[in-house]
Amino acid sequence: MSFSKFGFLGLGLIGGSIARAIKKNHPDSFIIAYALHKETVDKAHDEGIVDKPVYEIGADFSECDIIFLCAPVEINNENIEKLVPFLNENTLLTDIGSVKTGIHDKVKELGLEKQFIGGHPMAGTERIGFGNSKASLFENAYYILTKTDNTDEKKLKYYYDLVKEIGAIPLVIPYMQHDYITAAISHVPHVVSASLVNLVHDNDSEDQLMKLIAAGGFKDITRISSSSPVMWQQICTTNSFNISDLLSKYIDSLIDIKLAIDEHDSNKIFNFFNSAKEYRESFIETSSGPIMQAFTIHVDIADKPGNLARVATLLSDNEINIKNIGIVHNREYERGTLRIELHDQNGKDAALKILNENGYPIRNS
């Protein structure tokens, strides 16, 4: 058994990136894709990623070795029902959703447990849509696989190997455990991030000084608030029990530290920040995880005209693709500091080498 014919229902950021990665690693593969908007699959076809664009869910998918359900969580369940009349019993069915319980329940209801394996590539960006997809999106990111009670182990092995081929790190865990984990490390942080942004919005002055001054740390910890509101609406309604449970624990911890601040309890305040610091520094930095790792470099430069352009030109001349570049506007860095973001670890390593060779002081990133 091997995968050579791939089907996609939905072709946004994640689906598009998986398709690109497959085409990059298997140029001879055949990809069939359907998307809600005809323009999306037509664009993918024009770029040579999709071999056969289709405009409805039908018999075209019956010969696929594996079909990726890449629509929003609730739409995936609808699409499975549309697929059933055309689904070959040898086809592996998978999804990319960050909530697994609902789709596992649906698959069980439809008697498809033997040919379903849940999938969750834990990578992404704030930007959405096929136009922002890229084959390197999953580099060193965990890709969670969730079995059913009747999952075909041979299919699991081929799927596992495919995940490694596109640069991700496969990890097989029970789907209910997956939903609790992602609630803690992805879903609740998105809720918290949005609440912090709304806190500033609701308490800013008429001249919006908070918004003007907000930079550095605040922008970093609220970056994920730029994600799709529709997607997060659906995640919160489909993983509500776990998110609510963990939010209650988080609220309790906030009340606890608030009381310590009110009472000027120095030891408790110190322990609060110190335990977080120690645990955060123990994280494995080589994986992007559910909140995408930023491949960033901070470079000290003299505050003189043209210095930013010189650094950008130096990297460009050495064929290093910069994702983003800008001045850090806060007092965390006392000198002029450039924040350079690269697309992946290889780009970061190459940029560090070039900058070091040209005498630019690098801060810990």
The span from the CA of 266 to the CA of 270, in Å, is: 6
Checking if the pLDDT of 272 tops 90, the result is: yes
Could you tell me the pLDDT band of residue 293, with boundaries at 50, 70 and 90?
low
What is the model's pLDDT at position 299? 82
Least confident of 33-42, 60-69, 203-212, 305-314: 305-314
3-state class (DSSP) for residue 343: coil
Least confident of 47-56, 100-109, 325-334: 325-334
DSSP-assigned letter for residue 293: P
Tell me the pTM: 0.73
129 within 8 A of 109, measured Cβ to Cβ: no
* Amino acid, res. 93: L
**Distance from the first to the final alpha carbon of the chain:** 44
Q: Which CATH number fits domain 5-173: 3.40.50.720, 3.90.330.10, 3.40.50.10490, 3.90.870.10?
A: 3.40.50.720
185 within 8 A of 279, measured Cβ to Cβ: no
The residue with greater pLDDT, 123 or 330, is 123
CATH topology for the 178-281 domain = 6-phosphogluconate dehydrogenase C-terminal fold (1.10.3660)
Mean pLDDT computed over 337-350: 84
DSSP structure string for 107-175: HHHTT-GGGEEEEEE----S--SGGG--GGGGTT-EEEEE--TT--HHHHHHHHHHHHHTT-EEEE--H
80 within 8 A of 112, measured Cβ to Cβ: yes
DSSP structure string for 75-95: HHHHHHHHHGGG--TT-EEEE
What is the model's pLDDT at position 215? 66
Tokens of 38: 């005809």
What is the model's pLDDT at position 325? 79
DSSP-assigned letter for residue 7: E
- Of 96, 77, 112, the residue nearest 16 (C-alpha): 96
The span from the CA of 282 to the CA of 287, in Å, is: 13
Tokens of 53: 């664009």
What residues does each domain of the chain span? 5-173, 178-281, 295-363
Could you tell me the pLDDT band of residue 304, with boundaries at 50, 70 and 90?
low
Could you tell me the pLDDT band of residue 232, with boundaries at 50, 70 and 90?
confident
CATH topology for the 295-363 domain = Alpha-Beta Plaits (3.30.70)
Mean pLDDT computed over 305-326: 82
What is the model's pLDDT at position 305? 66
Checking if the pLDDT of 66 tops 90, the result is: yes
* 85: number of Cβ within 10 Å: 10
The residue with greater pLDDT, 293 or 347, is 347
Checking if the pLDDT of 334 tops 50, the result is: no
What is the share, in percent, of the chain residues with pLDDT greater than 70?
A: 90
What is the model's pLDDT at position 330? 41
29 within 8 A of 6, measured Cβ to Cβ: yes
Any idea which residue has 């810990």 for tokens?
A: 364
Do the first three CATH levels of 178-281 and 295-363 match, i.e. the same topology?
A: no
What average pLDDT is seen over the chain? Answer: 87
- For the chain, strand residue ranges (E) read 5-9, 30-34, 52-54, 66-69, 92-95, 116-121, 142-146, 169-172, 295-300, 322-327, 337-342, 362-363
- Of 15, 43, 45, 40, the residue nearest 30 (C-alpha): 45
Cβ within 8 Å of residue 338, ≥6 positions away: 298, 299, 301, 308, 311, 325, 326, 327, 328
The span from the CA of 101 to the CA of 176, in Å, is: 6
What is the model's pLDDT at position 136? 85
Could you tell me the pLDDT band of residue 326, with boundaries at 50, 70 and 90?
confident
Q: What is the pLDDT of residues 100-143, one digit of tens each?
A: 999 999 999 999 999 999 999 988 666 678 888 888 888 888 99
Q: Residue 314 to residues 135, 166, 310, 342, 357: CA-CA distances in angstroms?
A: 26, 30, 6, 14, 11
Checking if the pLDDT of 292 tops 90, the result is: no
Residue 87 CA, distance from chain mean position: 29
Checking if the pLDDT of 318 tops 70, the result is: yes
